[in-house]
Chains A and B, each alone.
Chain A
Amino acid sequence: MIDIQYFLILSAVLFSIGVIGVLVRRNAIVIFMCIELMLNSVNLSLITFSSFFSNYYGQIFVFFIMTVAAAEAAVGLAIIISIYRNKESINVDEINILKW
């Protein structure tokens, strides 16, 4: 049987790959995909706990996280497309009109 640590370490590694992506890449859509990676790794650890401790609360939590992730994806991409229409670019270094 696979131990609980393997799943949790995999989830931690996946999360940190997503963090590196958000920190390193400058394209808004790639940052978006990295956020999805991080959400997936958190879901994976929640499912791991739910399965190893034999209750269903983790799975229901993951269900609601997926709902919010779908809403976030729709609104986020709409914002990115709207920004692209105005500035002809989705490089996050050039989107700085809210900065002083």
Chain B
Amino acid sequence: MMLENYVFYLFALVTIVSAFIVVFSKNIVHSAVALFFTLFSVSGFYVLLRADFIALTQILVYIGGILVLIIFGIMLTNKVTGAELKTRNLHFIPSVVVTGIITGMIIFLLLSTDWNPVKDPFSPNSTIKQIGFKLLGDYLLPFEIASVILLVALIGSAMYARKK
């Protein structure tokens, strides 16, 4: 029980600090590397919440797919040796003030709500079997539509990125 708390705080620290580095780093490559740590520790939270299938999917899709795509995008759109990698910030103070106010309101709402969760939220069983039955049972049509979306995205991105 105590170990769970320590793991939570460790992952929370890694997530927040690396998310700040993603946002405020002047070098885009540093942002991408920090995004790796953010995604990985979010996947750690999924394990902590007993969502093992989603944790694996997070590592496969986000780190193995999207992050690699982003790094390719950085390499293709920046002159690596030049000053192009450095970018400036804009409207810093008003953005932080407005976002801070909204976040404070959200946190106040979260703390003042009586959530009343069920008694034992963390079942030790694997979730893969239930998710598989639901995906190929109740959610078969959305599952197939998702595959069509991926096919359309594949064709569309190949068409856009191709040299005319």
Residue ranges of A at the interface with B (Cβ–Cβ < 8 Å) = 1-2, 4-10, 12-21, 23-27, 29-30, 32-34, 36-37, 40, 43-44, 47-48, 50-54, 56, 59-60, 62-64, 66-75, 77-82, 84-85, 90-91, 93
Chain B interface residue count, Cβ-Cβ cutoff 8 angstroms: 82
Contact across chains for A19 and B54 when beta carbons are under 8 A apart: no
CB of B70 within 8 Å of the partner chain: yes
Known: A40-B38, A69-B66, A80-B77. A17 touches B161 (CB 8 A): no
Other-chain residue from B8, B15, B48, B110 in contact with A8 (beta carbon distance below 8 A): B110
Q: 1/0 per position for B11-49, CB-CB distance to A under 8 A? A: 010011001101100001001100100110010011011
Contacting A at CB under 8 A, from B111-164, are: 111, 115, 117-118, 120-123, 127, 130-131, 134-135, 139, 142, 146, 149-150, 152-154, 156-161, 163
Q: Work out how many contacts link A and B, with CB atoms closer than 8 A.
A: 223
**16 other contacts beyond A40-B39, A56-B127, A68-B149, with CB at 8 A cut-off?**
A2-B5, A9-B110, A12-B103, A17-B16, A17-B23, A24-B91, A25-B89, A27-B87, A29-B73, A51-B49, A53-B121, A60-B134, A67-B146, A72-B153, A90-B77, A93-B90
CB of B83 within 8 Å of the partner chain: no
| B31 contact set on A, CB distance < 8 A | 30, 33
Contact across chains for B70 and A77 when beta carbons are under 8 A apart: yes
Contact across chains for B66 and A63 when beta carbons are under 8 A apart: no
What does DSSP make chain A's interface, helix, strand, loop or mixed? helix
